[in-house]
Structure 1
Amino acid sequence: MFAALLLSFAAVFLAELGDKSQLVTMAFALRYRRRIVLAGIATGAALVFGLAVTVGHVLGAALPTTAVAVLSGAAFLAMGLWSLRLHEPDTDGTPRESAAARRSGFLAVTSTLMLCELGDKTMLAAMSLASTHSALGVWAGATLAMIAADALALAVGRMIGSRVSEQRIRLLSGYGFLAAGGWTIAATQPAVPAAAALAAAVAVPALAALSRWGVLRLQQV
């Protein structure tokens, strides 16, 4: 079991470095308190890797990963566009976070992380390892690795958040979701190289920023 834990921890941690889940975590770090994000990460990781090791160990089958990834990417795009739509100050010019938004933070982080990981390479790695190693060890190692990797992204996000205004924080989080969506959808195509997926992650929020700038300019005319 301990060997399975170490193996899955190393595999998942290395796979998560620079992955879209870290991008999403940074976006959430700009919007919610640290303990809410960490709790959501831990819960989402435990659930998604629990599903992965169950499928790998018991069923030996794979989920329809392409379809799941496309749906996840579409959800990220929708969240990003909705966030940008809400990026207007209140009537007194001061942006405020509602009590409902604070209460829903945990569920938002948990569900989004699960969407992010369903069908991802880390989930597939956990499924594969669970088919030949201790399921409990693989689950524990993968979950701890996800928490550790995303905790790094959370720290970076908090550093950024302490230096920028609330409205810019919300804009950055919206663009972060758009980048994750573009990356996820582009990566579902086997023929698309990693560089092209990264380009999509840059192009989608860039186009959104350009469109938003154009709309604001038209409103000023």
Structure 2
Amino acid sequence: MEAIIEKIKEYKIIVICAVLGLALGGFFLLKPSTQTPVKETNLQAEVSAVSKDSSSEKEVKKEEKEESPEQDLITVDVKGAVKSPGIYDLPVGSRVHDAVQKAGGLTEEADSKSLNLAQKVSDEALVYVPTKGEESASQQTASGTTSSTSKDKKVNLNKASLEELKQVKGLGGKRAQDIIDHREANGKFKSVDELKKVSGIGAKTIEKLKDYVTVD
């Protein structure tokens, strides 16, 4: 009987040790798994922070791009002996050469000698490229007026062509075209003073033009 009791005690000790061993083993096995969510949470926080920083950089770059001023442009009307006449936008400070190139370049009939390709163009300017025949005609007109009387030098506002008006001192290509457009839209000028109805021509300019133009 005492032997049986001793064996039972030995079994109890073995069972207790086994239970303790399982408990300790389970503790160490479960411990890493409890730390894993913490690491994952930290990783997610780092990814979120990087994403926010990237978004902030993109927003800053976008704002800088929006705040950057657009390049100033001017609008010019290119006509005459160019391949693609029309209205074009050019950067401020552009030259006649730039306007001609924008319009496709000169045609074979263009008289490049009469152009100052280095001249700067302004907003609303008219860049007119004459043909070789127009240049000859203008030279003949100029030579004819030189030998004429003072009265014959005056250009008739109601009959003059664009080229004739462009030769008038104080009128550029754009103003000459404006006079032609006004004449076609409103009829003949009754007096030189009616030039004040043309955009860009003021009283002082009219006084100077009276020596060179007429409505007779």
TM-score grouping bracket, smaller chain normalisation? under 0.3
- Given the two structures, how large is their TM-score scaled by the length of structure 2? 0.26
Of structures 1 and 2, the one with the larger relative CO (CA 8 A, separation 6+) is 1
Q: If each structure's strand is expressed as a fraction of its own residues, which one has the higher value?
A: 2
Q: Tell me which protein shows more helix as a share of its residues.
A: 1
